Amino acid sequence: MSVHPIEFRYYSEEMRSLFTEEAKLRNWLEVEAALALAHAELGRIPRPAAAEIAEKATTAHVKLDRVKEIENEIHHDLMAMVKALTEVCGADSGKFIHLGATSYDIEDTALALQLSRAMGIIEDDLLSVRDTLAGLAERTKRLVCVGRTHGQHAVPTTYGLKFAIHACEFQRHVERLRQARSRVRAGKMTGAVGTQASFGARAGELQRLVMARLGIDSAPVSNQVIQRDRHAEAVFVLALAAASGEKMAREIRNLQRTEIGEISEPFSAKQVGSSTMPQKRNPHKSERICSLARIVRALVAPALENIPLEHERDLTNSAAERVIFPESFILTDYLLRQLKDVLAGLVFFEDRIAENLRMTGGLIMCEQVMIKMVERGMGRQDAHEILRVAAQEAFAGRAPLKRVLENNPRVMAVITGAELDMALDPSNYIGTAAEQVENALAALRGR
């Protein structure tokens, strides 16, 4: 029976399949095969023995149930795999399995394979979200809306600029992930404390051969383990991506509020929003993204705490990593896929967008009127004070700003009625927003 939601609810099959017990066993066996073949290439074990080890080092021969049965007896999971592989190989071959290696030569090298593959999936997710955001930025680059700071109406902006900002943020996550992946893709064959004494005089060449066969890099130095700063960095990059996912999802949630109502998550014909309130159209996917992002961020702390292991290593990282890695990768993958789906189906209510632009009766245009007055010769501070007082009067009297300004001789002495109308039009005050979107999209296309 499943217990953890990453097993039955919050997952994609593609990512989850990398973190099953059988997948872990396959990775271990892959490394054992590479080690045997490298030994043979250096003349340290007979080639027929290495060939048989490599042939039998698959889950078609080494069964997970048998490995677990042995582990229940000896209480060592990696050695249980070694014994199970030895059982399916002939006596002449089995005696060479795991020659010179310590457990974490196999486990950390296999971990590099696992995490590198998982980071490849995350990269695809990030690119998909980025490209969806870029498409939205292109589509809405001139869709004028209220800009909000401190939760209050500020000055006009565009939806295109909003989406372009998020698209560029996800591009930075792609770049960070690629850098972190290059550091995670490192394995080792260095023995019990990192000296490689158990591998003989050609140990460096042996390690190079193993890693080349597996398609990953060799750690330049190590003790019994690959140093955990590499893995903590990977988890931190996932947390950054999850936080940006929450940032986007929270924006959608706020803009979907009944009082704002500018955009909405997609809502299918048969979808139910509430078990008791039939009218509800809750942004539940965006809320789910925000919720899961909290878990991913929380996993950074134990990943960082795994870095200071004692001396040449202790085992305090092991149990935590059995939780940290599957949770952080599976949940980040899932929430990014959810975010992409929400963005791809986003609904825009342009009538409400326009209505909200008019909501304050022109107050959001105070800055532009002030600037126009300065252009006509008034001092900036004087213009600011005139507009500040006028805005307070308009707000208190629930009057349109235009009416208040038209009755102010100091304003009308420096700008005409036609100029005031133009200054109060939100579409005339988006600056270089559309140009910035176009430049951002051109830069993203170049990546």
What span, in angstroms and rounded, lies between the C-alpha atoms of 238 and 360? 40
Within 345-379, where are the H helices? 350-358, 366-375
Strands, E, within 185-260: which ranges?
186-187, 217-218
DSSP state, residue 197: G
Coil, strand or helix at 25: helix
**Residue 271, C-beta contacts closer than 8 angstroms, at least 6 positions apart:** none
What span, in angstroms and rounded, lies between the C-alpha atoms of 168 and 348? 22
What span, in angstroms and rounded, lies between the C-alpha atoms of 322 and 312? 21
What span, in angstroms and rounded, lies between the C-alpha atoms of 53 and 326? 29
Q: Is 150 a catalytic residue?
A: yes
DSSP state, residue 219: P
What span, in angstroms and rounded, lies between the C-alpha atoms of 344 and 266? 9
Which residue in the list 17, 76, 182, 274 is annotated as catalytic? 274
What span, in angstroms and rounded, lies between the C-alpha atoms of 41 and 99? 14
Are the C-beta atoms of residues 401 and 361 closer than 8 Å to each other? yes
Which residue in the list 150, 268, 275, 311 is annotated as catalytic? 150
* Residue 126: count of CB within 10 angstroms of its CB: 26
What span, in angstroms and rounded, lies between the C-alpha atoms of 168 and 163? 9
Q: Which residues are tagged catalytic?
A: 150, 274
